[in-house]
Amino acid sequence: MRSAIASLTVLSLLLASCGGGGSSSGGGPVTVTPTPTPTPTPTASCGLSARQSFAKAVIDEWYLFPSDVATNVNPANFADVQTYIDALVAPARALNKDRYFTYVTSIAEEEAFFTSGSSAGFGVRLAYDPTIQRVIIAEAYENAPALAAGIDRGTQIVGIGTNASNVRAISAIVGSEGTQGITNALGASDPGVTRVLRIVEPGGGTRDVSVTKADYDLDPISDRYGAKIISEGGHAYGYLNLRSFISSADPQLRAAFLNFRNQGVTDVIIDLRYNGGGLVATAELFGDLLGRNRAASDLFSQTNFRASKAGNNTRHTFTTQPEAIAPTRIAFIGTGSTASASELVINGMLPYLGTNMTLVGSNTYGKPVGQIALDKGECDERMRVIAFATGNAASSGDYFDGLAPKISNSCAADDDLSLPLGDPREASVRAAIDFLAGASCTTHIAEAGASAQSRGVRVAAEPEMLTPAKPRAAQRELPGLF
């Protein structure tokens, strides 16, 4: 079966997002060496048994934690491929090593997303705030239906219906079905699906708005606030918000850093608060763009496979880029939705900047491992399997509990959904600017729990990013996307 895998698959490398609940995470095609040539067999069976056998063979050959795979799991006891995979990797999951990171997905759907950010939906990121029992828009994408209907960051959804006469209150939905009831009420992520949303606008007005889902391309760096220079106190700070590590981000990253370089910016805010990861190649480019003052021998990141696949191990040293800057200080903004490739960039810079770098906001997700893709092409089925671990120049990569414990001067700050992203008044951006300006942090992320509250320090609870039980490719990488 192993030789059959090599003839049926494309091998690709990624660091992707966390997913949630019963969901999982995915990523996109970044080639590693060697790359098997895809030769799909049209006559191969796409029956359940054949697909389960394919998944098992992939795990046997590539899974990063071979000693943590369950034995004597009978595939006949499972009605689909994913639940069979879940049973096989359950021991690793119990050890917090594989939080739904090994899964099957659609080849076509995933490649559409990682090439151009193609998705279908309203074009918003949704967070649920249990204290007020409302859904809050964390972000709205340009050229998507929601923003065109006047729905943007800070808008609150208080009810959902298929028409104006059957709008149900969010509190009633959650009371009877939990937060998954919200995702169910929003309907399938298919073009043409229409919902009536009862919204409360940031100014306080309430109205019903009908929004129809459509195909749109996700812009990885917003034209509205994604890359800019914030001038304050006679100093210029670069601000960059990257939504996702997809191929179309590369030219935008280059353009943003070229502007920073031309403006003499050396203090930068990198906002990855909702970025669940994606392509390793884009993460490596990001590191290069932050590495103008690094030697060609300086290591940015490393990827390490299981012993039997060590021939695939790679090391990325800083590569000269014409747009690169030499940062003096960096403030990364993160949340529990900051994962994988985002964490790789943060971790990769830590050995070189030390206390001249901080993490602002809250702790990151904690995913120092990545997936490869192996395709059963005739079935439009891609197997994503945890196959490698990442590390930085100090060989530090054990951050399954998030990066905050690795960054001693991390600074707790709210994600203030009432203000636009990139606004200097927004709590996390404000804390980032203060760090870059030399101010000390009031509360470190590790102290932002009960002990901080007992001292009267207010750090708001992080809203829950909504994720459907069976997320699409884009939703795996962008928690809360609908």
**CA 144 to CA 223: how far, in whole Å?**
13
- Cα separation values, 52 from 74, 129, 229, 303, Å: 10, 39, 51, 28
pTM value is 0.88
Question: Tens of pLDDT along 130-153?
Answer: 999 999 999 999 999 999 999 999
With cut-offs at 50, 70 and 90, classify the pLDDT of residue 476: confident
Question: For residue 456, is pLDDT > 50?
Answer: no
Question: For residue 224, is pLDDT > 80?
Answer: yes
Q: How far, in whole angstroms, is CA 26 from its chain's centroid?
A: 9
Question: For residue 39, is pLDDT > 60?
Answer: no
Q: Is 315 helix (H, G, I), strand (E, B) or coil?
A: strand
* Dihedral (Cα; 87, 108, 248, 428), 10-degree rounding: -40
- C-beta separation of 122 from 460 below 8 A: no
Q: At what angle do helices 341-353 and 280-289 cross, to 10 degrees?
A: 30
Q: What is the mean pLDDT of residues 376-384?
A: 91
Three-class DSSP labels, 249-278: HHHHHHHHHHHHHHCCCCEEEEECCCCCCE
The overall average pLDDT reported for the chain is 88
First to last CA, the chain: 38
Structure tokens belonging to residue 258 = 């070229």
Q: What is the mean pLDDT of residues 163-178?
A: 97
Q: What is the mean pLDDT of residues 156-166?
A: 97
Q: What is the mean pLDDT of residues 454-464?
A: 56
pLDDT of residue 9: 33
- In sequence order, what are the residues at sequence separation of 6 or more whose Cβ sits closer than 8 angstroms to the Cβ of residue 202? 154, 155, 418
Q: What is the mean pLDDT of residues 63-68?
A: 97
Domains identified in the chain and CATH numbers: 2-116 (no CATH), 119-217 (2.30.42.10), 227-303+310-368+391-460 (3.90.226.10)
